């Protein structure tokens, strides 16, 4: 009936309806745990990716560095190779220039020899052809002299050529002059350049040959200063090489200082040292000649330098120079370097002759006299009573070197 209510579900029916839901819940995991697992997995994956990317970046960096090192090594090798090739080119160029200069010089000398040979051949031919004519002229001159006629001798071109040929023959027979090598010593600069100009520069050589000879005759720091001038144009290189040598070794004050230093830097001379006097005289004469040619005599004639030279001399010569200087000043002449040079040379000549070298030497096979030191009273009484004792005593106390009253062993001038 409709008015009756439906029967209420039983407990079993309720459980049966709810049981499927419980089974479904128990069979599937909860959403929270599932998300946690996914996050952990993704975190590991991301870390792995980051680590891989870092390692990949480091590998690429190492690869790039290695590539750059390789490129740098190749560039260095290429630069070294180019540098070595350049050095070889420079060396080959230098050798070629030396060969070219040598060939040019040999060709020039060969031309000169050929020219002299041709002149000699033409001279012989001309002399052979003209013998009859010259004989006839000689006969005419002789007959004119016999009959008393005054005629002028007829000149012949051969007579003018003979002196020239004699001069050429003499120059060829003379030994080849040797030029002293210049090592960079300012003392030898002017003598070297003068010899080089006479034997090389003033001849008909071109600038290439002159530059080659200039480098050849230099050594040490002088050659190091000009050896790269061969890379320039011959005219420019030769001019620059001479300018370099002058600026470094040939300036007036440099040469003057070197000469004065050579004169002063020596030990004091002892009495009787004739060789030492000659060495000093030679250095002073060379200094005086060089600086006079350079017109730079102010420094060498300075009073300080003259006093230093005087201090080098023995005491006896110092006194003699003082006397000489006094005589000059009395005549209104100031002593200079030239006066002192002449004085030292004169004393060197005196000390080296047979009598000067014998001064102060004891007599052979004789014992030296020992001075007999006696009281004045005894000496006075000897003098008044015995003439012979006086003579012996005076001889023993007389110095033969300075003529003073003491023995030669006690002579300060002789020491």
Model confidence over 47-61: pLDDT tens digits? 777 888 888 888 889
Token pair 């060829």 is found at 172
Beta carbons within 8 Å of 184's beta carbon, 6+ residues apart: 218, 220, 221, 222, 225, 248, 249
Task: Report if residue 50 sits inside a domain.
Answer: no
Same domain, 268 and 353: yes
Same domain, 268 and 331: yes
Q: Between 246 and 48, where is the model more confident?
A: 246
Task: Report if residue 319 sits inside a domain.
Answer: yes
Q: What is the pLDDT of residue 21?
A: 46
What integer is the mean pLDDT of 57-66?
A: 88
Same domain, 239 and 272: no
For the stretch 293-337, pLDDT in tens is 888 887 788 889 999 999 999 999 999 999 999 999 999 999 999
Does the pLDDT at position 397 exceed 80? no
Long-range contacts made by residues 401-404, C-beta under 8 angstroms, separation at least 24? Answer: 401/359, 401/360, 402/316
Token pair 């409709």 is found at 2
Same domain, 269 and 349: yes
Q: What is the pLDDT of residue 322?
A: 94
Same domain, 265 and 344: yes
Of 123-127, 215-219, 369-373, least confident by mean pLDDT is 369-373
Report the candidate in 273, 237, 298 with the shortest Cα–Cα distance to residue 101: 237
Which of 250, 285, 306 lies at the terminal end of a domain, its last residue?
A: 250
**401 — pLDDT class (breaks 50, 70, 90):** low
Which of 232, 250, 268 lies at the terminal end of a domain, its last residue?
A: 250
**245 — pLDDT class (breaks 50, 70, 90):** very high
**116 — pLDDT class (breaks 50, 70, 90):** low
Task: Report if residue 307 sits inside a domain.
Answer: yes
Same domain, 401 and 354: no
What integer is the mean pLDDT of 357-376?
A: 54
CA quadruple 168, 173, 174, 175: dihedral positive or negative? positive
Q: What is the pLDDT of residue 193?
A: 92
- Helix residue ranges, H only, 148-295: 157-173, 189-196, 207-216, 220-226, 234-245, 252-264, 274-293
Same domain, 243 and 265: no
Q: What is the phi/psi pair of residue 218, to 5°? A: -105, 155
Task: Work out the burial of residue 249: count CB atoms within 10 Å of its CB; fewer than 13 is exposed, 13-18 middle, 19 or more buried.
Answer: buried
400 in helix, strand or coil? coil
Number of C-beta neighbours around residue 335 at 10 A: 20
Percent of the chain whose predicted confidence (pLDDT) is above 90: 27
**134 — pLDDT class (breaks 50, 70, 90):** low
What integer is the mean pLDDT of 66-95?
A: 88
Q: What is the pLDDT of residue 55?
A: 85
Task: Report if residue 401 sits inside a domain.
Answer: yes
Q: What is the pLDDT of residue 280?
A: 93
Same domain, 342 and 380: no
Does the pLDDT at position 103 exceed 60? yes
Do 281 and 344 form a contact (C-beta atoms < 8 A)?
Answer: yes
Task: Report if residue 15 sits inside a domain.
Answer: no
Do 348 and 277 form a contact (C-beta atoms < 8 A)?
Answer: yes
Residue-averaged pLDDT of the chain: 75
Task: Report if residue 110 sits inside a domain.
Answer: yes
Task: Report if residue 219 sits inside a domain.
Answer: yes
Q: Between 15 and 205, where is the model more confident?
A: 205
CA quadruple 112, 118, 120, 122: dihedral positive or negative? negative
**1 — pLDDT class (breaks 50, 70, 90):** very low
Which of 224, 250, 276 lies at the terminal end of a domain, its last residue?
A: 250
Does the pLDDT at position 191 exceed 60? yes
- Between the ranges 34-38, 81-85, 198-202, 233-237, where is the mean pLDDT highest? 233-237
- Helix residue ranges, H only, 148-231: 157-173, 189-196, 207-216, 220-226
Q: Between 280 and 389, where is the model more confident?
A: 280
Cα 255 from Cα 295, distance rounded (Å): 12
**393 — pLDDT class (breaks 50, 70, 90):** very low
Same domain, 322 and 265: yes
Same domain, 263 and 345: yes
Q: What is the pLDDT of residue 314?
A: 92
Same domain, 208 and 279: no
Q: What is the pLDDT of residue 214?
A: 92
Same domain, 321 and 393: no
Does the pLDDT at position 376 exceed 70? no
Beta carbons within 8 Å of 338's beta carbon, 6+ residues apart: 288, 301
Do 218 and 182 form a contact (C-beta atoms < 8 A)?
Answer: yes
Long-range contacts made by residues 113-118, C-beta under 8 angstroms, separation at least 24? Answer: 116/168, 116/172
Query: Cα–Cα distances in Å, from 80 out to 71, 94, 228?
Result: 14, 21, 21
Host domain of residue 386: 376-410
For the stretch 163-183, pLDDT in tens is 656 656 665 556 666 788 999
Report the candidate in 414, 413, 274, 298 with the shortest Cα–Cα distance to residue 356: 274
Does the pLDDT at position 249 exceed 60? yes
Domain count across the chain = 4
Task: Report if residue 170 sits inside a domain.
Answer: no
Q: What is the pLDDT of residue 272?
A: 78
Cα 403 from Cα 395, distance rounded (Å): 11
Q: What is the pLDDT of residue 286?
A: 92
Cα 351 from Cα 359, distance rounded (Å): 9
**124 — pLDDT class (breaks 50, 70, 90):** low
């Amino acid at each position: 009936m409709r008015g009756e209510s439906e029967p209420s579900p039983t407990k079993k029916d309720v459980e049966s309806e709810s049981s499927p839901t419980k089974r479904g819940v128990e069979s599937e995991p909860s959403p929270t745990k599932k998300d946690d697992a996914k996050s952990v997995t993704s975190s590991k994956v991301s870390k792995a990716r980051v680590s891989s990317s870092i390692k990949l970046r480091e590998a690429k960096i190492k690869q790039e560095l290695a590539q750059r090192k390789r490129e740098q090594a190749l560039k260095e090798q290429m630069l070294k190779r180019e540098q070595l090739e350049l050095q070889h080119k420079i060396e080959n160029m230098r050798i070629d220039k030396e060969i070219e200069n040598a060939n040019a010089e040999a060709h020039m000398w060969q031309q000169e020899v050929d020219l002299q040979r041709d002149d000699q051949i033409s001279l012989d031919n001309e002399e052979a052809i003209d013998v009859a004519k010259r004989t006839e002229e000689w006969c005419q001159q002789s007959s004119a002299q016999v009959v008393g006629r005054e005629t002028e001798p007829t000149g012949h071109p051969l007579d003018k050529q003979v002196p020239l040929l004699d001069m050429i023959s003499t120059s060829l027979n003379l030994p080849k002059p040797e030029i002293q090598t210049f090592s960079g010593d300012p003392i030898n600069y002017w003598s070297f350049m003068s010899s080089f100009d006479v034997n090389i520069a003033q001849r008909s050589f071109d600038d290439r040959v002159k530059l080659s000879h200039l480098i050849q005759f230099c050594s040490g720091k002088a050659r190091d200063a000009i050896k790269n001038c061969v890379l320039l144009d011959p005219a420019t290189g030769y001019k620059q090489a001479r300018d370099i040598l002058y600026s470094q070794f040939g300036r007036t004050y440099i040469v003057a200082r070197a000469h004065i230093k050579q004169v002063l830097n020596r030990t004091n001379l002892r009495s009787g040292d004739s060789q030492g006097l000659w060495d000093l005289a030679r250095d002073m004469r060379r200094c005086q000649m060089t600086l006079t040619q350079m017109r730079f005599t102010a420094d060498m004639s300075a009073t300080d330098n003259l006093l230093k030279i005087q201090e080098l001399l023995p005491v006896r010569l110092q006194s003699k120079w003082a006397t000489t200087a006094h005589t000059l000043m009395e005549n209104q002449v100031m002593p200079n370097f030239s006066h002192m040079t002449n004085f030292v040379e004169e004393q060197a000549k005196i000390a080296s002759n047979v009598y000067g070298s014998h001064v102060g030497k004891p007599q052979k096979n004789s014992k030296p006299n020992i001075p007999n030191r006696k009281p004045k009273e005894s000496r006075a009484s000897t003098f008044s009573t015995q003439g012979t004792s006086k003579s012996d005593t005076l001889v023993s106390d007389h110095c033969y070197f300075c003529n003073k009253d003491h023995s030669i062993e006690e002579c300060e001038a002789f020491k």
